[in-house]
Amino acid sequence: MSPQSVIDLTGVTKSFGAVKALAGVDLVLRSGECLGLVGHNGAGKSTLMNVLAGTLAPDAGHLRIDDVELDRSYSVFRAHALGVRCVFQELSLCGNLTVAENTRLLHPRLRGWNWRKRAAALIGAMLDDIFPGHGIAVGAAVADLSIAQRQMVEIARAFTVTDESLRFVILDEPTSSLDAATAGQLLAFVRRQEARGVGVILISHMLHEILETADRVVIMRDGRVIASEAASAFDREGLVSAMGGLSHQQECSTKARSPARSSEIRVRAQPSAPGNRRELTARAGEIVGLGGLAAHGQTDLLLSVFRAAQRRSPTVSVSDSVALVAGDRQRDGIFPQWSITQNIGLRSLKAMRRGPLIDPGLEDRFAEDWRARIGIRSADLKDGILSLSGGNQQKALFARALGSDARIILMDDPMRGVDVATKREVYRLIRDEADKGRTFLWYTTEMEELYECDRVYVFRNGAITADLDQDQLTEERILHASF
Ligand SMILES: Nc1ncnc2c1ncn2[C@@H]1O[C@H](COP(=O)(O)OP(=O)(O)OP(=O)(O)O)[C@@H](O)[C@H]1O
C-alpha cells in the first residue's frame, strides 16, 4: 500500500428537508491513521460516513481519494473497489442468510463451485483473528445470533479481503453492543490494522475508547467540524467540554445513593440455567443492575419478567405493570413506518384515549413533553422515526417506557449510541423515578452504568454468579464473577 493514501472531503453539505445534517464539512484521513470522530447525537457523524461509504450523495462538496476527484457516480461499489469499507451503526446483515452467505454479498468473487465453504473459511478466519473464542457458527442464520454476535460478524466481514485491497475502514459505533472484553479485542485489532497501513475512522460515544485508540480526534457539532487535534491533546473532561456537553457538576451528581430499602418486592426471578442457585429480587424504588459478559442470560431474564407480567410463570413472579426498553432497537424497539410521536406514545395509548379513539392533541403534547425532557433532536415529531439519528431513536424508546404508567421498567442495554450528555440526563431521570418508587432492572455492558445501580447481579452462562450491593461493587468483583 502507498504510504500517501489519503481521503479528502471538503465543503460537504447534506440536507434532509429542513434539517441541515452537514453544513460544509472538511475532513482528511491518511492511511495508517486512526481518526476518532465524536459529537452529540444528531451532530452529523453517520451522515458524513454515509457520504464517504457511497450510500448517500452529498448536496455539494468534494470527495477525493488519492487525489482522484470522485464525481456523482461515486457509489458503494466504487467505494468498495477503492478499498473503503463501512461498518454501519444500524447493522446491515441479511437475517435470513447465514454468516457465510452474508460474506458472499460483499465479495462477488466468491462464486462457482464450493463458494459457501470458501466464504465460511474467510469469515471464520477473520472472526478468529479479531474475536478469539467468539463461539459464532458461520453456518448459522444471522437472525438467530444475538445483537452482539451480529455486530461481531458485521465488523469481521468489513475486514475480509478477496481480490480488492482494504485501505480505509469506517467503524460507526462498533462496540455499542459489545461487552468490555470483546470491545478490547476489537480495539487491539484496530491498532494492528493501523500498523499495517489501514486508515480507520472510529465513531464512538465511549470516549475512553477514542482516547485509547485514536491518533487524532475530530469533533462535530450541528453538522460542522469544530475541532481536529491530536488525541494526546485531550483528556476525557477536555473532550466532553470541547463537544459542548455537560458541566463537571453534571458529571458528578448522578452517582447512585443507597436507598432506604423498601420491603415491597416487585420482581422475583430464578434464571432457568442448570446449576443456578440464586434468585433475583427487585424492590420498589430500586435500580437493579444485571452485569456480566454480553449474552450470558441477562436479556433472557428480562424477557421472562416481561412475559410473566402477562402470564403466570413457575420461575418468575411480577407484582406490577412493566415496560421494556428493547436492546435491539431496529428489530424489537422502533416501528419503522410510524412517526416519532406514534413511537413515543405507543405504551401510553390508554391515557390518551377520548372515547374509543386516540386524541391526537394529547398524543402530540405527550410526545412534545418528552422531546423537551429528553432532548430528542428532530425538526418535526410528525416525521418518521427513521429520520432520527440512532441515538435520538434510542431516546424515543426511553421516552416511551418512562412516559408510561409502568411501575417496573426493564432496560436491555438501553444506552446504545446515546451521547455522553444525554446519558447523564437519563441516569438522573432513572434515579428520580426510582426515588418516586419505580423499579428498574437494567442490563448493561458498561461498567460505569453498573455503578449507577443500587444492587448488581452478575450473570455467567445463564446463571447468577454474584449479588453485589452498591458498597461491595468493584470492577474486580464484577470481572471475577463474569469469568
Ligand atoms: N434519512 C433521514 N431523513 C431525515 N433526517 C435525517 C436522515 N438521516 C439523518 N437525518 C438527520 O440528520 C441529522 C444528523 O444525523 P446523523 O445520523 O448523521 O447524526 P449522528 O451524529 O450520527 O448521531 P448519533 O450519534 O445519534 O448516531 C439529524 O438531525 C438527523 O435527524
Q: What pLDDT sits at residue 107? A: 86
- Residue 474: which pLDDT band, with cuts at 50, 70 and 90? confident
Is residue 476 in some structural domain?
yes
Is residue 230 in some structural domain?
yes
- Residue 220: which pLDDT band, with cuts at 50, 70 and 90? very high
Q: Output b/e per residue, 273-299; b: 16+ Cβ within 10 A.
A: beebeeebbbbbbbbbbbbbbbbbbbb
In angstroms, the CA 33 to CA 13 distance is: 24
In angstroms, the CA 248 to CA 221 distance is: 20
- If asked whether residues 152 and 45 sit together in one domain, one would say yes
Average pLDDT, the chain: 88
Residue 6, pLDDT above cutoff 70: yes
CB–CB of 310/319 below 8 Å? no
Residue 42, pLDDT above cutoff 60: yes
Give residue 342 CA to ligand 1 midpoint distance, Å: 19
- Residue 96: which pLDDT band, with cuts at 50, 70 and 90? very high
For the question of whether the overall pTM of this predicted structure is more than 0.90, the answer is no
Is residue 104 in some structural domain?
yes
- If asked whether residues 57 and 197 sit together in one domain, one would say yes
Q: Which residue's CA lies nearest to atom 2 of ligand 1? A: 387
- If asked whether residues 427 and 305 sit together in one domain, one would say yes
- If asked whether residues 162 and 237 sit together in one domain, one would say yes
The residues, ordered by sequence, that sit 6+ positions from 425 with a Cβ below 8 Å of its Cβ are 374, 375
- If asked whether residues 272 and 210 sit together in one domain, one would say no
The CATH number covering residue 22 comes to 3.40.50.300
Name the domain boundary from 213, 243, 273: 243
Summarize pLDDT for 172-196 with one digit per residue, the tens: 999 988 888 899 999 999 999 999 9
Angle at 442 between CA 438 and CA 445, to 5 degrees: 160
Summarize pLDDT for 123-134 with one digit per residue, the tens: 999 999 999 999
Is residue 259 in some structural domain?
no
Tell me the mean pLDDT in the region 294-299. Answer: 84
Q: Which residue's CA lies nearest to atom 24 of ligand 1? A: 41
Cβ(391) – ligand 1 distance below 6 Å: yes
CB–CB of 215/48 below 8 Å? no
Helical spans, DSSP H, in 112-179: 115-130, 147-159
Give residue 426 CA to ligand 1 midpoint distance, Å: 20
Sheet with 455-460: list strands edge to edge.
322-325, 408-412, 439-443, 287-291, 455-460, 463-469
Return the SS3 of 89: coil
- Amino acid of residue 314: P
DSSP state of 291: E
The residue among 318, 315, 223 whose CA lies nearest residue 24 is 223
Q: Which residue's CA lies nearest to atom 29 of ligand 1? A: 42
Summarize pLDDT for 324-358 with one digit per residue, the tens: 998 888 888 999 999 999 999 999 988 888 888 98
Mutation test of ligand 1: which of 38, 389, 418 has the most ligand atoms closer than 8 Å to its C-beta? 389
Name the domain boundary from 191, 211, 243: 243
**Domain coverage including residue 309:** 265-482
In angstroms, the CA 80 to CA 216 distance is: 24
* Partner residues linked to 220 by β-bridges: 39, 225
- If asked whether residues 218 and 348 sit together in one domain, one would say no
Q: What pLDDT sits at residue 249? A: 44
Summarize pLDDT for 418-432 with one digit per residue, the tens: 888 888 888 988 999
In angstroms, the CA 265 to CA 269 distance is: 11
Cβ(278) – ligand 1 distance below 6 Å: no
Residue 359, pLDDT above cutoff 60: yes
Tell me the mean pLDDT in the region 290-317. Answer: 87
Give residue 395 CA to ligand 1 midpoint distance, Å: 13
Cβ(339) – ligand 1 distance below 6 Å: no
Is residue 103 in some structural domain?
yes
- If asked whether residues 342 and 403 sit together in one domain, one would say yes
Helix H or strand E segment including 360: helix 360-374
Is residue 255 in some structural domain?
no
Angle at 210 between CA 151 and CA 293, to 5 degrees: 45
Is residue 57 in some structural domain?
yes
Q: Which residue's CA lies nearest to atom 19 of ligand 1? A: 42
- Residue 1: which pLDDT band, with cuts at 50, 70 and 90? very low
CA 399, distance to chain mean position in Å, is 17
- If asked whether residues 288 and 219 sit together in one domain, one would say no
Name the domain boundary from 185, 210, 243: 243
In angstroms, the CA 47 to CA 13 distance is: 10
Query: Count of domains in the chain?
Result: 2
CA 447, distance to chain mean position in Å, is 15
- If asked whether residues 81 and 124 sit together in one domain, one would say yes
Q: Name the percent of the chain lying above pLDDT 90.
A: 53
Return the SS3 of 39: strand
Cβ(46) – ligand 1 distance below 6 Å: yes
Residue with cell 459489545: 178
CB–CB of 258/470 below 8 Å? yes
Summarize pLDDT for 347-356 with one digit per residue, the tens: 998 888 888 8
CB–CB of 30/65 below 8 Å? no
Helix H or strand E segment including 216: strand 216-221
| ipTM score for this prediction | 0.97
Q: What pLDDT sits at residue 4? A: 60
CB–CB of 447/478 below 8 Å? yes
Q: What pLDDT sits at residue 157? A: 94
Is residue 253 in some structural domain?
no
- If asked whether residues 201 and 284 sit together in one domain, one would say no
- If asked whether residues 230 and 275 sit together in one domain, one would say no
- Residue 250: which pLDDT band, with cuts at 50, 70 and 90? very low
- Residue 71: which pLDDT band, with cuts at 50, 70 and 90? confident
The minimum-distance atom of ligand 1 relative to the CA of 39 is 21
- If asked whether residues 31 and 115 sit together in one domain, one would say yes
Which is higher by pLDDT, 162 or 295?
Answer: 162
